[in-house]
Each structure stands twice: as C-alpha cells, then as structure tokens.
Amino acid sequence: MPGEVTRFAPSPTGLLHLGHAYSAFDAADAAAGGRFLLRIEDIDRTRCKPEFAAAIEQDLAWLGLDWERPVRRQSEHLADYQTALSDLDAMGLLYPCVLSRKELAAAFGPDSDDLTVVTDTDRVLDPELYAERLASGQPRALRLRMARAIARTGPLTWTDDRHGVRTARPERHGDVVLARKETPTSYHLSVTVDDALQGITLVTRGMDLFESTDVHRLLQALLGLPTPRYRHHDLLVDGTGTRLAKSHNSPSLRSLRDGGATPEAIRRKLGWAA
Ligand code: GLU
C-alpha cells in the first residue's frame, strides 16, 4: 500500500548476512513511496556491540539502501519501556521471577523443549522461601501473568499480508519475561513499544518471529497501542536446507563483498531486480 511506514530492526550481535539483506530489501521495498526506518535492537548488553551496529549501517548503505534518520537505538530509550512496564504493573499483570534456570527446568521442563510453558513461577517455591528471596533485593526478571492478561483483553486477532487473519494464542508462550534481570526490558516489550512509537504501519520480518506476534498483539491490547499489519517472510536456506543465520556461520555480507560480490549481484540472488 502507498505511504507505508516500515522498519528493519536488526540486533547488533554480529555481522549481517544474506538473510538480513533479504529482510532489509523486503522492508525497504514495502516502504516505496512511504518511510523506511532502521532500528538497532541493542538491549542485550552482553551480546550487542557498537562495532556491529556501525557495520550494520555500512553494510546497508553498501547494499544501496537508505533510511530515515535518526536511527532509533533501543538502549537509549529504556525509559519508554519502563513506562510500559509501570502501566502493566498498575494493572496487576507483572510479578518477579526468583527461580534460577535450573529450578525453572526442574519445575517446567528444559528450555529447549518447545512444549515448555512456564506459568506462575511465584507459586513454585514454598511461600517463605519465595518471600526470603524477594527480600534479598537482588535484581529479578519480571514476568507477565499470562492468564490474567488474556482475561483482561479477551480474544484478539492480527493480520498478516501473506497468512491472513490470525487468532492470537499468546497462552502458548506462558508467562513471558518482559524485563530481564540484567536489562529492564525484553525483546517482546521493546519491539511492541517501538513499533507503536515509531508509527510503523507494516512490520516485515522473518517467519522465525511469526508466533511472537501473538505476544505483541496482546501487549498492544493491554497498553492501548495500535496494531500494525504484518508480513512474515520465509527464511532463507542454503543448498542443504539449513537456515541462513549467524549461528550457522553463514557468510557475512562483508565477506561476500570482500570476495568480489556486488550489491547488484546480491539483489539478484535474493530475487530483487537490480
Ligand atoms: N531484532 C530482531 C532480530 O534481529 C528482529 C525484530 C523484529 O523484526 O521484530 O531478530
């Protein structure tokens, strides 16, 4: 649609690869005639590095993309996420999680298990021990009381340009963490708040985040934020069917460039006319 506001929102935890280029082209293309924004999702202070953030801008410019300035860096906007957390807290929807990873796994199953749904972690320990840990004043993660949140909003839907109208099923995510011990926000919270604050009308991103949208839709309803349209694209895979992701050591755009690839060749390879 004309006049779309879209964004590319990478986390600077490494160099961009072809999968990122695909996502960035998709977002920029969808904004043709509208606005294309870049957002640096750098809330994870241990994994995100300023040099990767700088490399992102250089690589996107090399690809021939242009985006509106200023770039929003999430680490500079923690107060916005704090406001959202305070609103959710005032609704009685947050609670501190005092359990260690080990205790969580013992109570709910290992993290890696897709079927693991963590709920009411404040009812796992005996109340005295729970109170004792809270009183120790250590930083704690904050979880959303999912059942209560859903009871408050009722059924929700969202629309994906490729997948139609979806019924949100945030309960499958359990009591999601909205603020981490080491950083006072989370991916789900900051992405939802930022998409609203930046006036994004169409969220384009990979299918790996398709199910997360159910949580984002719930947060929008709770916080009174608008719901954008979504367009989740398929993930790029290599010749062996393995997903092109940083974790699989796929070649970075930089190494492709250093090996002689041109931005035009990359565009063509990814299916965009040069
Ligand atoms: N920062 C996320 C990532 O790099 C993407 C967030 C989004 O597009 O919603 O995977």
Which of 221, 226, 224 has its CA nearest to residue 150? 221
Residue of 100, 75, 90 whose CA lies nearest to 12? 75
Q: What percent of the chain has pLDDT over 90?
A: 88
Query: What distance in Å separates the CA atoms of residue 10 and residue 32, rounded to the nearest whole number?
Result: 20
Q: Which two tokens stand for residue 153?
A: 């909003």
- pTM for the full model? 0.95
Rounded Cα distance, 186 and 188, in Å: 6
* Interatomic CA distance for residues 147 and 124, integer angstroms: 17
Q: What is the mean pLDDT of residues 143-147?
A: 98
| Ligand 1 and 10: CB distance under 6 A | yes
Confidence of residue 274 (pLDDT cuts 50, 70, 90): low
Identify the residue whose C-alpha is closest to ligand 1 atom 3.
10
* Strand-by-strand arrangement of the 5-8 sheet: 5-8, 35-40, 68-73
| Nearest ligand 1 atom, CA 7 | 8
Identify the CATH number of the domain defined by range 1-76+237-274: 3.40.50.620
Q: Is the pLDDT of residue 243 over 80?
A: no
Question: How far is the centre of ligand 1, averaged over its atoms, from the C-alpha of 239 (Å)?
Answer: 24
Identify the pLDDT of residue 247. 53
pLDDT tens-digit map of 202-232: 999 999 999 999 999 999 999 999 999 999 9
Atom of ligand 1 nearest to the CA of 23: 8
> Which residue out of 49, 102, 181, 246 is catalytically annotated?
246
**In this predicted model, which residue has the larger pLDDT, 112 or 264?**
264
269 tagged catalytic: no
Q: How many angstroms separate the alpha carbon of residue 206 from the centre of ligand 1?
A: 8
Ligand 1 probe mutation, 26, 42, 72, 187, most atoms within 8 A of CB = 187
CATH architecture of the domain covering 78-197+207-227: 3-Layer(aba) Sandwich (3.40)
Q: Is the CB of 209 under 6 A from ligand 1?
A: yes
Considering the chain, tell me which residue range(s) the CATH 3.40.50.620 domain(s) occupy: 1-76+237-274, 78-197+207-227
Rounded to whole angstroms, the Cα distance separating 16 from 254 reads 8
> Cα of 158 to ligand 1 centre, how many Å?
18
> What local confidence, expressed as pLDDT, does residue 249 receive?
67
Q: What is the pLDDT of residue 184?
A: 93
Q: Percent of the chain, pLDDT > 70?
A: 96
Residue 215 contacts residue 185 (beta carbons within 8 Å): no
204 pocket-lining for ligand 1 (C-beta < 6 Å): no
- From atom 4 of ligand 1, which residue's Cα is the shortest distance away? 10
Q: Is 14 in the pocket of ligand 1 (CB under 6 A)?
A: no
pLDDT digits (tens, 9 = 90+) for 25-46: 999 999 988 999 999 999 999 9
What is the arithmetic mean of pLDDT over 245-250?
61
Whether the ω angle into residue 170 lies within 30 degrees of 0, i.e. cis, is no
pLDDT in tens, 33-91: 899 999 999 999 999 999 999 999 999 999 999 999 999 999 999 999 999 999 999 99
